[in-house]
């Protein structure tokens, strides 16, 4: 006769078994930290922001008066501030379009044609700028754009110095100073440069998910490549473009560094928020609420355009 | 009088290489107009590549492909009068069912009125009326399969290409769709070229079929020709089950070492001391295993030297108890010589 040996299962095994039988409990414990973070740190600070924007500053003591009022919003919607908001939105929109136009062909090439090696190299090339400090890159661009910078000297060498001056004098793309570093165009270039990876990666991911057989099917049904692109590839990659544009748009909307280093000394939402922080927190908060509202409107439009249909 | 039907698709010495791999190797094949033609073979045998060559998704490394006498070798897919039903259906996920089906008509700028009539017609044919507004993700596998079929048929192509279209369906649905597909083919009266690895499917549906192996065609013929007179040992074993005997085993049975095949259902199991008449073959063996399959029973009979012969018998009177009791019994296998098929054994 063999004696059966029963051994108590180890403590870790018993814990595993316990959680196996209560999947709801393990899910709760897993989600507790991220949800707490989201609710308290994220939503909480947004709510605090919203509340702050309905307070106002007491002109005598320069302290925040904690009672409900719309006077901060009255102050916000003065002509000068509306100009700031409009200018920022236009810039963010231009940067988004610029990024999308540059990113799409590259992402398309990476998803459709590049072999593994080239794809890896391109990934590296796209990600590489993100490894270095954002500030360093912005200041580097300043050196490229200033009057003594690379662009100017190249154009001068070619005898095309007047072209640069002509660009600087243009309304909407030019500026008030004497170099490209103080033009709208300069800001646009720097923003497109720093946010481009955030556009390429989601578009690439979206294009990767479009099965090859859909493209075959479209051409099988008589569609030439252009038609296939417009009716099949682009609509299916559109959620990726929207995802990317959420980054480029909101990052440009909130940025307060580029406008100071490169800008043409006019105000944008980001600098407006940061410069009001020290003496008018409610106005800063109201400016921030504006960018949140703009993003919400932006997402609603994107949904209208069918950006999330293919998800 | 010309009773030879028109050739719908002609492969003239077509090869398609992917690097060193010869996916299709010097293929010559005529597929006739209005024929239900199957390309049958295991995976990697070149059948799907051949289909993609007809569709235009692939282009031959060598050779010429003709559609109704026109050389289409270099034509892109959108210039060819063929449509494809894809294995994964390839329905456009961002369009509803109506838009999916109307896609080809939209591309060709067919007027709205006609478009609506034609889409309604095919929807009726594949019995999907009322689902026009749904998205592909809201349909079952069988329904998606029908949409894919409708989307191709609505264009009235001369040739319809089907790439294992029933592969993802369960057995019952598959058998039902086999019958339906055949009925639709007869109704619309166009050439169907059907890729499958399922020999039963190919035998059920085809007017003719080609058996592929290693990028080459082993045999072309009607289902009964291919089943009853397999040209090679590969065909004999791939289409249905066959016993392929060669070398010493063949010599022991027929007196000649020439390889031959014998179908398991042609063999009778007799007592070991039975006499064999002149027009029959016989060999002694032992029942090594019995597999009870409900309708019939499969026996594995060892005839020495580790060689097994498959025998299938219908369970006319026998119960599972009876047949399973046969294990280990000495028997004699007897079959008529006329059922032996000489095959080319490429090893």
Residue-level pLDDT at B1? 45
Q: Which residues of A160-191 are buried (b: 16+ CB within 10 A; e: fewer)?
A: eeeebeebbeeeeebbebebbbbbbbbbbbbb
pTM score = 0.81
B109 vs A: CB within 8 A: no
* Partners of B38 in beta bridges: B194, B209
Please indicate, yes or no, if residue B11 is contained in any of the structural domains: yes
Other beta carbons less than 10 A from residue A50's beta carbon: 14
Q: Cα(A271)–Cα(A59) distance, rounded to whole angstroms?
A: 22
Tell me the two tokens of residue B176.
Answer: 């039902």
Q: What is the pLDDT of residue B343?
A: 85
Using CA atoms, how far apart are residues B163 and B82, in angstroms rounded to an integer? 13
Tokens 């500026």, residue located: A175
User: How much is the average pLDDT of B273-299?
Assistant: 90
- Per the CB < 8 A criterion, the answer to whether B56 and A272 are in contact is no
Confidence bin at A5 (pLDDT 50/70/90): low
Residues B138 and B281 in one domain: no
Q: How far apart are CA A226 and CA B281, in angstroms?
A: 67
pLDDT digits (tens, 9 = 90+) for A175-222: 777 788 888 899 999 999 999 999 999 999 999 999 999 999 999 999
Residue B238 located in a structural domain: no
Distances (CA, A) of A117 to A127, B19, B253: 15, 18, 59
Domain that holds residue B204: 7-229
Q: Which residue has the higher pLDDT, A97 or B323?
A: A97
CA distance B200 to B322: 29
Helix (H) or strand (E) holding B163: strand B159-163
More confident residue, B29 or A162: B29
The reply to whether B236 falls in a domain is no
In the predicted structure, residue A238 carries a pLDDT above the cut 70: yes
pLDDT at B347 over 50: no
Per CB-CB distance under 8 Å, the chain B contacts of A306 are: 94
Q: Tokens 């908060």 sit at which residue? A: A285
Measured between beta carbons, which residues in chain B are less than 8 angstroms from residue A213? Answer: 86-88, 90
- The residue ranking higher by pLDDT, B248 or A90, is A90
Does residue B235 sit within a domain?
no
Q: Are residue B249 and residue B215 in the same domain, yes or no?
A: no
**Domain co-membership, B174 together with B219:** yes
Inspect the interface and report whether the beta carbons of A227 and B107 lie closer than 8 Å. Answer: yes
Residue scoring higher pLDDT (A311 or A105): A105
Determine which of A140-154, A239-253, A261-275, B276-290 has the lowest per-residue pLDDT on average.
A261-275
**CB-nearest partner of A220 from B77, B94, B108:** B77
Chain B contact set for A211 (CB, 8 A) = 88, 90
pLDDT digits (tens, 9 = 90+) for B186-234: 999 999 999 999 998 999 999 999 999 999 999 999 999 999 899 998 9
State the average pLDDT over residues B54-64. Answer: 95
Q: Do the Cβ atoms of B46 and B7 come closer than 8 Å?
A: no
Closest residue, chain B, to A221 (C-alpha):
B104
Q: How confident is the model at residue B4 (pLDDT cuts 50, 70, 90)?
A: confident
Question: Is residue A230 pLDDT above 80, yes or no?
Answer: yes
The B21-32 sheet, strands edge to edge: B21-32, B7-18, B62-67, B70-71
B281 located within any domain: yes
Whether B178 and B264 share a structural domain: no
Say which DSSP state B344 is in. Answer: B
Angle at B73 between CA B72 and CA B78, to 5 degrees: 55
In a domain, B204, yes or no: yes
Q: Inspect the interface and report whether the beta carbons of B90 and A211 lie closer than 8 Å.
A: yes
Compute the distance between CA of residue B127 and CA of residue B322 in angstroms, rounded to an integer. Answer: 47
> Tell me, what DSSP letter sits at residue B44?
T
The stretch A120-136 carries a mean pLDDT of 90
Q: For residues B140 and B221, state if they share a domain.
A: yes
Q: Which residues pair with B7 in a beta bridge?
A: B32
In a domain, B37, yes or no: yes
Is A232 part of the contact surface with chain B (CB cutoff 8 Å)? yes
Q: Using the structure block, give the residue that is written with the tokens 């609505």.
A: B154
Q: Do B86 and A216 touch (CB under 8 A)?
A: yes
Coil, strand, or helix at residue B5?
A: coil
Examine the domain organization and report whether B216 and B101 are in the same domain. Answer: yes
Domain count, chain B: 2
Give the CATH number for residue B193.
3.40.50.300
Q: Does residue A311 surpass a pLDDT of 60?
A: no
CATH of the domain at B331: 2.40.50.100
Fold of A71-304: MetI-like fold (1.10.3720)
What is the pLDDT of chain A when averaged over all its residues? 88
Q: Are A199 and A244 in contact (CB under 8 A)?
A: yes
CB-based contact, B57 to chain A, within 8 Å: yes
Residue B222 CB partners (closer than 8 Å, separation 6+): B206, B207, B208, B209
Out of B229, B255, B273, pick the residue that ends a domain: B229
Chain A partners of B82 at a C-beta cutoff of 8 Å? Answer: 220
Torsional sign, CA B226, B232, B236, B238: negative
Reported ipTM: the value is 0.85
The C-alpha of B55 sits at a distance from chain A's nearest C-alpha, in angstroms, of 7
pLDDT value of position A310:
53
Residue B115 DSSP one-character state: H
3-class SS string, A91-137 = HHHHHHHHHHHHHHHHHHHHHHCCCHHHHHHHHHHHHHHHHCCHHHH
User: What distance in Å separates the CA atoms of residue B39 and residue B48, rounded to the nearest whole number?
Assistant: 8
Per-residue pLDDT at A309: 61
Q: Residue B331 forms beta bridges with which residues?
A: B285
Q: Residue B242: is its pLDDT beyond 90?
A: no
Mean pLDDT, residues B122-140 taken together: 92
Higher pLDDT, B120 or A276: B120
| pLDDT of A8 strictly over 90 | no
Q: Are residues B272 and B131 in the same domain?
A: no
Collapsing DSSP to helix, strand or coil, B298 comes out as strand
**Residue-by-residue DSSP string for chain A:** -PPPP--PPPHHHHHHHHHHH-HHHHHHHHHHHHHHIIIIIIIHHHHHHHHHHTSEE-TTT--EE-S--SHHHHHHTSHHHHHHHHHHHHHHHHHHHHHHHHHHHHHHHHHHT--HHHHHHHHHHHHGGGGS-HHHHHHHHHHHHSTTSHHHHHHHHTT-HHHHHHHHHSTTT-BSSSSGGGBHHHHHHHHHHHHHHHHHHHHHHHHHTS-HHHHHHHHHTT--HHHHIIIIIHHHHHHHHHHHHHHHHHHHHH--SHHHHTS-S---HHHHHHHHTTT-HHHHHHHHHHHHHHHHHHHHHHHHTTTTTT-
Instruction: Name the strand (E) or helix (H) holding B199.
Output: helix B199-205
Using the Cα atoms of residue A116, residue A126, residue A215 and residue B148 in order, give the sign of their dihedral: positive
| Torsion sign, CA atoms B27, B32, B33, B34 | negative
- Name the closest residue on chain B to residue A224, using Cα atoms: B78
Q: For residue A48, count other CB atoms closer than 10 A to its CB.
A: 11
User: Does residue B234 sit within a domain?
Assistant: no
In angstroms, the CA B127 to CA A65 distance is 70
Residue B133 pLDDT exceeds 70:
yes
CB B85 within 8 A of CB B162: yes
Nearest CB to A219 within list B78, B87, B108: B78
Sole residue written with tokens 């018998």: B313
Is there a single domain that holds both residue B124 and residue B44? yes
The predicted structure's pLDDT at residue A245: 92
In chain B, how long is the greatest CA-to-CA distance?
Answer: 79
At residue B121, the 3 state secondary structure works out as helix
Contact criterion met (CB below 8 Å) for B340 and B254: yes
> Do both B113 and B249 map to the same domain?
no
Does A310 sit within 8 Å of B93, measured CB to CB?
Answer: yes
> Confidence band (pLDDT; 50, 70, 90) for B104?
very high
Whole-Å CA distances, B21 to A181, B15, B18, B122: 57, 11, 5, 40
User: What is the Cα–Cα distance from A68 to B42, expressed in whole angstroms?
Assistant: 76
Is there a single domain that holds both residue B196 and residue B323?
no
Give the closest residue to B260 by CA, choosing from B278, B276, B242. B242
Domain ranges of chain A: 71-304
């Amino acid at each position: 006769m063999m004696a059966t040996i029963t051994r108590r299962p180890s403590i870790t095994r018993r814990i595993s078994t316990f959680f196996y039988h209560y999947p709801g409990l393990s899910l709760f414990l897993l989600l507790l930290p991220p949800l707490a973070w989201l609710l308290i740190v994220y939503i909480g600070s947004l709510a605090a922001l919203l509340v702050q924007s309905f307070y106002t500053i007491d002109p005598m003591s320069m302290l925040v008066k904690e009672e409900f009022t719309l006077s901060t919003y009255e102050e916000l919607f003065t002509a000068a501030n509306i100009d700031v908001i409009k200018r920022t939105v236009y810039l963010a929109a231009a940067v988004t379009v610029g990024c999308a136009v540059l990113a799409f062909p590259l992402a398309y090439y990476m998803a459709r044609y590049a072999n593994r090696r080239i794809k890896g190299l391109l990934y590296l090339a796209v990600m590489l700028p993100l490894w270095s400090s954002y500030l360093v890159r912005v200041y580097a661009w300043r050196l490229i754009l200033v009057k003594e910078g690379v662009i100017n000297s190249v154009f001068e060498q070619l005898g095309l110095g007047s072209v640069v001056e002509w660009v600087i004098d243009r309304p909407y793309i030019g500026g008030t100073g004497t170099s490209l570093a103080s033009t709208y165009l300069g800001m646009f270039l720097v923003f497109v440069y720093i946010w481009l990876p955030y556009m390429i990666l989601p578009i690439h991911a979206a294009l990767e998910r479009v099965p090859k057989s859909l493209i075959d099917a479209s051409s099988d049904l008589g569609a030439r490549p252009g038609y296939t692109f417009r009716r099949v590839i682009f609509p299916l990659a559109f959620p990726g473009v929207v995802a990317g544009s959420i980054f480029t748009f909101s990052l440009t909307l909130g940025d307060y560094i580029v406008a100071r280093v490169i800008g043409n000394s006019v105000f944008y939402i980001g600098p407006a928020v940061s410069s009001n922080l020290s003496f008018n927190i409610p106005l800063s908060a109201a400016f921030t609420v504006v960018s949140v509202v703009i993003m919400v409107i932006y997402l609603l439009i994107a949904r209208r355009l069918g950006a999330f249909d293919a998800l | 009088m010309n009773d030879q039907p028109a050739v719908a698709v002609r492969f003239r010495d077509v090869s398609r290489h992917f690097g060193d791999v010869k996916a299709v190797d010097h293929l010559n094949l005529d597929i006739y107009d209005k024929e239900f033609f199957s390309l049958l073979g295991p995976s990697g045998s070149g059948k799907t590549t051949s289909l993609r060559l007809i569709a235009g998704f692939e282009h031959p490394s060598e050779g010429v492909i003709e559609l109704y006498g026109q050389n289409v070798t270099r034509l892109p897919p959108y210039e060819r009068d063929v449509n494809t039903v894809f294995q994964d259906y390839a329905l456009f996920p961002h369009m509803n069912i109506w838009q999916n089906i109307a896609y080809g008509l939209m591309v060709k700028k067919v007027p709205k009125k006609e478009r609506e009539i034609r889409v309604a017609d095919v929807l009726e044919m594949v019995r999907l009326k009322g689902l026009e507004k749904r998205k592909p993700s809201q349909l079952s596998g069988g329904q998606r399969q029908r949409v894919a079929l409708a989307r191709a048929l609505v264009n009235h192509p001369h040739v319809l290409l089907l790439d294992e279209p029933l592969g993802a369906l369960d057995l019952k649905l598959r058998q039902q769709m086999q019958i339906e597909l055949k009925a639709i083919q007869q109704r619309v009266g166009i050439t169907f070229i059907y890729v499958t690895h399922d020999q039963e499917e190919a035998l059920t549906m085809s007017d003719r079929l080609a058996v592929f192996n290693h990028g080459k065609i082993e045999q072309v013929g009607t289902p009964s020709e291919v089943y009853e007179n397999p040209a090679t040992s590969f065909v004999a074993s791939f289409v249905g089950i066959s016993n392929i005997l060669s070398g010493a085993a063949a010599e022991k049975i027929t007196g000649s070492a020439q390889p031959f095949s014998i179908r398991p259902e042609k063999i009778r199991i007799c007592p070991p001391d039975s006499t064999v008449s002149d027009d029959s073959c016989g060999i002694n063996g032992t029942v090594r295993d019995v597999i009870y399959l409900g309708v019939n029973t499969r026996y594995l009979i060892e005839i020495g030297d580790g060689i097994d012969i498959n025998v299938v018998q219908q369970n006319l009177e026998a119960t599972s108890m009876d047949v399973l009791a046969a294990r280990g019994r000495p028997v004699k296998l007897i079959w008529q010589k006329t059922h032996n098929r000489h095959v080319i054994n490429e090893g």
